Structure 1
Amino acid sequence: MLGAPASPQHEESPIASDALSLDDIDELARRAKDGDRDALEALLSAVRPRVLSTCRGVLPHLADAEDACQEALISVAAKIGTWTGSARFTTWLHVVAVNAARSTYRRLKRQAVPVEVMPADRPDPRTTSVIAGTRLDLLEAMEKLEVDHPQLVEPLLLRDVYGLPYDEIAGLVDVPLGTIKAQIHRGRRLARPLLRESE
């Protein structure tokens, strides 16, 4: 399976994934981008825990997050050539993982059968977002916001959910820093009433 954790018999791997620094990951990514298949496999194994963690930040159920993680790793393998190397590979990876998680959420939502859910006494901290009642409330709000303001969603998620610095977000979406700050501020203002609607 693509990007699956190395099993004990794969001890010949030249770099242990838990020992990789950000510089090591960037170097593997450069080699993978240049067509080194072994580097790509090592890279996917090394970043899988990070990708899964990012996906779990969006999707509360482990099985769904694992599906999104797999989708993200396939995307990394297919699109590694689009990483420019101007920012950390892990920053680029973060966007790929967030997009995979949101894509998985959309797919699950289309397939879902409506059921009546009893409200919990208090929010479960494992599924609660910083800026919404639950992660699912947040995803619903982002889906609504994206209809009229698609350019605001990604920067807002990257800043308010994942805590990326403004300058990294600006580099990732290739928009000036001042514009990114304005988009995030506007996104927050537009998202607040949507979050209230979903409570």
Structure 2
Amino acid sequence: MTSAGPLDPDEIDDLARRAQAGDTDALELLLGAVQPRALAACRSVLPHLADAEDACQEALLNVSRKIGSWHGRGRFTTWLHAVCVNSARSTYRRLKKQAVPADPTELSAAGPLERPDPRTTSVIAGTRLDLLEAMEVIERDHPQLVQPLLLRDVHGLAYDEIAQLLELPLGTVKAQIHHGRRLTRPLLAADA
């Protein structure tokens, strides 16, 4: 294994296998090696850096706790993307819940809301709210569509990688993504 520069996919997979076998040093090296990739994956969903960093920390914790659920059939980094998508969405939900007051009268007492500057505000203030809200709406009736859609259209994973990761037939994944896109378009157009 090289000590200089980023690790190649085979080296990352090797570290992941060793970590699964209980090698704590390999787990630490793995987490350090994939942290930039995890942060980038979280930032593709949550562009505000502080929100993405929270999601990244959650994702890395989940990796360390659930590394045994990576089956080793595909690349570890593909599995990592799914963990990051789930962590980013979980972080979004938590932040959204914190942003909405328990008592609705608190909002009206505060007066009219000003539109925040998206360059300096959290995702909850609106930077990717449209996409994440659309995913929340779709998930209510079609939960199976959200993860393939985000993995393809946000993270850019190939259809076959998604099929392998989700353990679904390739045709099913393509159909889910197509259907998810059809449901998402009007929700995003309504915000435009």
TM-score by length of 1: 0.83
Per the alignment, residue 129 of structure 2 pairs with: 136
- Per the alignment, residue 55 of structure 2 pairs with 68
1:41 aligns with 2:28: yes
Distance 1:135 1:79 in 2: 28
Q: Which runs of 5+ in 2 are unaligned?
A: 101-106
CA contact (8 A) 1:68 1:104 kept: yes
Contact 1:140–1:198 (CA under 8 A) maintained in structure 2 = no
Distance between the aligned counterparts of 1:67 and 1:75, measured in 2?
12
Residue pair 2:42, 2:55 contacting (<8 A) in 1 also: yes
The TM-score, its normalising length taken from structure 2, stands at 0.86
Q: Can you list the C-alpha shifts for 1:101-135, whole angstroms capped at 9, x where unaligned?
A: 00000000000046724387xx87xx9xxxxx952
Query: Quick one: higher RCO (CA 8 Å, sep 6+), 1 or 2?
Result: 2
Deviation of residue 147 (structure 1)?
0.3
Find out whether 1:99 has 2:86 as its counterpart.
yes
Which residue of the other structure, out of 145, 149, 152, is the alignment partner of 1:156? 149
TM superposition shift of 1:17:
6.9
Give the 3-state SS of the residue equivalent to 2:182 in structure 1: helix
CA apart distance, 1:194:
1.2
Aligned residue-pair number: 178
Distance 1:74 1:86 in 2: 22
Deviations 1:146-176 (A, max 9, x none): 0000000000111111111000001111110
1:181 corresponds to which letter in structure 2? K
Write out aligned runs for 1:1-199 (5 A).
16=3, 18-113=5-100, 116-118=113-115, 135-199=128-192
Deviation track 1:19-49 (CA, whole Å, cap 9, x = no partner) reads 3111110000000011100000000011001
For 2:82, the aligned partner's letter is V
Q: Which amino acid aligns with 1:136?
A: L
In structure 1, give the amino acid aligned to 2:70.
W
**Could you say if the C-alpha distance between residues 18 and 116 of structure 1 is closer, same or farther in structure 2, counting changes exceeding 3 Å?**
farther
User: Is the Cα–Cα contact under 8 Å of residues 55 and 69 in structure 1 kept in the other structure?
Assistant: yes
Q: Verify the 8 A CA contact 2:39 2:56 in the aligned structure 1.
A: yes
Equivalents in 2 of 1:37, 1:189: separation in Å? 44
Rounded Cα–Cα distance in structure 2 between residues aligned with 1:180 and 1:49: 27
| Match in the other structure for 1:8 | none
Could you say what secondary structure the match of 1:164 adopts?
A: coil
2:114 and 2:81 map into 1 onto residues whose CA distance is: 32
**Identity of aligned pairs, percent?**
68
